[in-house]
Amino acid sequence: MFHAHGLITQDGASPGDIIAAAEKELNKYPTVELVDDRVTGLGEHWGRGVFTCAYCDGFEHGDTHLALTGPTFFVPPIARILTGWSPHVTAFSNDLDAAVRAELGAHGVNVDERPIARLNGDGNTVSSLELTDAPDVPIGALFVAEWPAPNNQLAVELGCAVDEHGYVDVDAMKRTTVPDVWAIGDVTSLRSNMSMSITDDVLAAVDCNTALLDRDWNETT
């Protein structure tokens, strides 16, 4: 079951429950318009055995066989985190150099160069990886270390600057490069989760409100 971690009062809550509670609260405000922009098609097991954050979801799968795949530069740091949760970690990658392979091996991380053909499971949990021309490998979870593609279409249409990975550029108060446009959450940073996004929300809301008050104040003086 996919659920929240590290968010006080919401730990263990499902995304659906959190969204429903948020919509109920937001519907009280006549100036708020709710837009359904949920991402679909992320895979049968995404969030249910397939994860991106080793800190967010590693503990619940500790002591199981944890699998990892992704670009070369992501594999070593994520593998190191996973070894804190389980002694059974395998990195599936065919482009690690000898030095990296040796470092991982010295810390008990197996490296498997065979390509992954299929992820097996029941839709709620994963059970094994099906490899090309090889027996299935039982696993408890698969961590995909990859640059997520931020849903930045609205920001780009508004003219906001983005970095080389597509994340919206913001300053300390979450202002974008376009006046009167703020951005928060995982559209602005790879390292963003629910708790961090809530903090961003407070910063942006205060700064936005201050900007509106300043404008009204200056127009009447």
Q: What domains are there in the chain, each with its CATH number?
A: 50-144 (3.50.50.60), 149-219 (3.50.50.60)
Predicted confidence at residue 102, as pLDDT, reads 94
37 band by pLDDT with thresholds 50, 70 and 90? very low
Residue 200 has pLDDT above 50, yes or no: yes
* C-beta separation of 75 from 96 below 8 A: yes
Tell me which DSSP letter residue 167 carries. Answer: P
Residue 146 has pLDDT above 80, yes or no: no
Residue 133 has pLDDT above 80, yes or no: no
Name residue 112's beta-bridge partners: 92
Predicted confidence at residue 42, as pLDDT, reads 33
Predicted confidence at residue 207, as pLDDT, reads 94
- Average per-residue pLDDT for the chain: 85
β-pairing, 109-112 vs 137-138, is unpaired
22 band by pLDDT with thresholds 50, 70 and 90? confident
Predicted confidence at residue 71, as pLDDT, reads 82
Predicted confidence at residue 2, as pLDDT, reads 56
**How many residues in total does the chain contain?**
221
For residue 144, which of 83, 81, 92 has the smallest C-alpha distance?
A: 92
